[in-house]
Chains A and B, each alone.
Chain A
């Protein structure tokens, strides 16, 4: 049987097509504000880390993360700041820190763990660090947390 028909872009023939952007609430902030926020948060994260306050740094960076189109710079700034936090945490402290996050923060952190795994080549990406955070987070937040990374259209 011919399978060529599977390649036809049927959405092009449909005037009432459902767009990706209609599946989530757009970020109310404009891209400049988002970028300024991200820069500010990065600075806060660095100062928290210098005081060895991992939990505080995570709280800052996991609050209202940038998502949606046109904020790529803010997204990569946030990812880098987050990777910095992950890399400067002692393995034995991870579980305790994760337990204090609320469910929104856990879901957001899981998004960044997967984003990190998908960003090979970035200087700060350390596979074994990401995997140990992932293991601990799955133990605490469950598989539902991973499922939500897949369903949530507000990609970070």
Chain B
């Protein structure tokens, strides 16, 4: 593996989500609280800079628009805010973040939010069996929403925009991933036909996908071209046009790195690279978490059972020993990864670095390109890929 991952311990509490700005020198995270915190990069470290306090329940998702430098947050309080950076009225040289209310019209928690590619709309998923598609109403200076309701039967856990700014993929707790049209008349031009269809009025259902072993759909993602949809569900599988079941714990988040590759992460505490295509099928290539990097601790194929805590009890049982080691996992992340996002995106849309945030309070930046070496050495590890 090329460069080692950069690890930042931002907090001692779970990071439920994170998002970088366009130049990657600022970062906004939710520390599982009502506030979002903006961090600034200073001498290779992340320093808290400003707190966005407006929500009165836990923030569930954040997205920092890279084109427009606007932050959108959504929360269990059923609200979303769009934050813009404006000059402070008292000292005009300082910039402050000002919230604008969004009229979501949902009566359950908002679970997930993402700007559309052009950043003139955003989608808010919710526990109300609906997705709010929000656009700006300049007359009233607020964001208005239109609800996608049919045929969603349960909480929507994630969404992802198609590059054409119109289609939206949604993963839901009713075990289905769907592709829907989020066409807004005043915002969008008529989209050109795609593999998903050519006539796309609002709420057109272009596809509905499940898989036989079921499970909540935690995460959805369009490939860079928008032609392929992948989703991760709670049965430890990733589904493209085919259903790839893995031996690990379930993935909860994924991001495409190219037309033939994606990275998924979740309860297994390590980002995993999948590669493939419609013709050749899909398979696990490697974990980005390089096993050989830190020490050589015996690894068992029964993955997570073989952590230090387990071994400590085992030693105490078999040898009466009281080992003095910590209960650390052998992965970089010490707990579930909550979010994986592209960090460095090339001109052709390929992703060379990704960032992850975890329940362990860590933010990690991983190298992807050059991350496909030594495949032969890795294949032996796949069965026991959970942990070192």
* Contact indicator per residue, chain B 224-237, by CB within 8 Å of chain A (1) or not (0): 00000000011111
Q: Does chain B have a CB within 8 A of A22?
A: yes
Query: B247 is contacted by which of A24, A25, A141, A152 (Cβ under 8 Å)?
Result: A141
Query: A151 is contacted by which of B233, B302, B304, B383 (Cβ under 8 Å)?
Result: B233
- A interface, over-half SS: helix
Q: Knowing A138-B302, A151-B214, A151-B215, say if A143 contacts B233 (CB, 8 Å).
A: no
Contact B212 A145, beta carbon cutoff 8 Å? no
Considering the complex, which residues of chain A in the window 12-39 have a beta carbon less than 8 Å from any beta carbon of chain B?
16, 18, 22-25
Instruction: Kindly state the separation between the CA atoms of A111 and B86 in the bound complex, as whole angstroms.
Output: 58
Q: Does chain B have a CB within 8 A of A142?
A: yes
Q: Does chain A have a CB within 8 A of B165?
A: no
Give chain B's interface residue range (CB within 8 Å of chain A): 20 to 34
Considering the complex, which residues of chain B in the window 189-240 have a beta carbon less than 8 Å from any beta carbon of chain A?
212-216, 233-237
Query: B213 is contacted by which of A107, A138, A140 (Cβ under 8 Å)?
Result: A107
Q: Does chain A have a CB within 8 A of B350?
A: no
* Contact indicator per residue, chain B 148-163, by CB within 8 Å of chain A (1) or not (0): 0000011000000000
Contact A142 B303, beta carbon cutoff 8 Å? yes
Q: A-B pairs with CB below 8 Å: how many? A: 75
* Contact indicator per residue, chain A 69-85, by CB within 8 Å of chain B (1) or not (0): 00000000000000000
Q: Does chain A have a CB within 8 A of B118?
A: no
Residues on A with C-beta less than 8 A from B383 are 140, 142
Q: Does chain A have a CB within 8 A of B19?
A: no
Q: Does chain A have a CB within 8 A of B174?
A: yes
Instruction: Kindly state the separation between the CA atoms of A23 and B172 in the bound complex, as whole angstroms.
Output: 12
Q: Does chain B have a CB within 8 A of A103?
A: yes
Closest CB-CB distance, B269 to chain A, in whole Å? 12
Q: Does chain A have a CB within 8 A of B283?
A: no
Query: A144 is contacted by which of B129, B174, B245, B301 (Cβ under 8 Å)?
Result: B245
* Contact indicator per residue, chain A 120-156, by CB within 8 Å of chain B (1) or not (0): 0000000000000000001111111101100111100
Q: Knowing A18-B153, A143-B386, A147-B236, say if A154 contacts B248 (CB, 8 Å).
A: no
Contact B213 A142, beta carbon cutoff 8 Å? no
Q: Which 10 pairs between the two chains have the least Cβ-Cβ distance?
A: A142-B247, A144-B236, A151-B215, A151-B235, A144-B247, A152-B213, A148-B235, A18-B153, A148-B213, A147-B236
Interfacial residues, chain A to chain B (CB-CB below 8 A): 16, 18, 22-25, 103, 107, 138-145, 147-148, 151-154
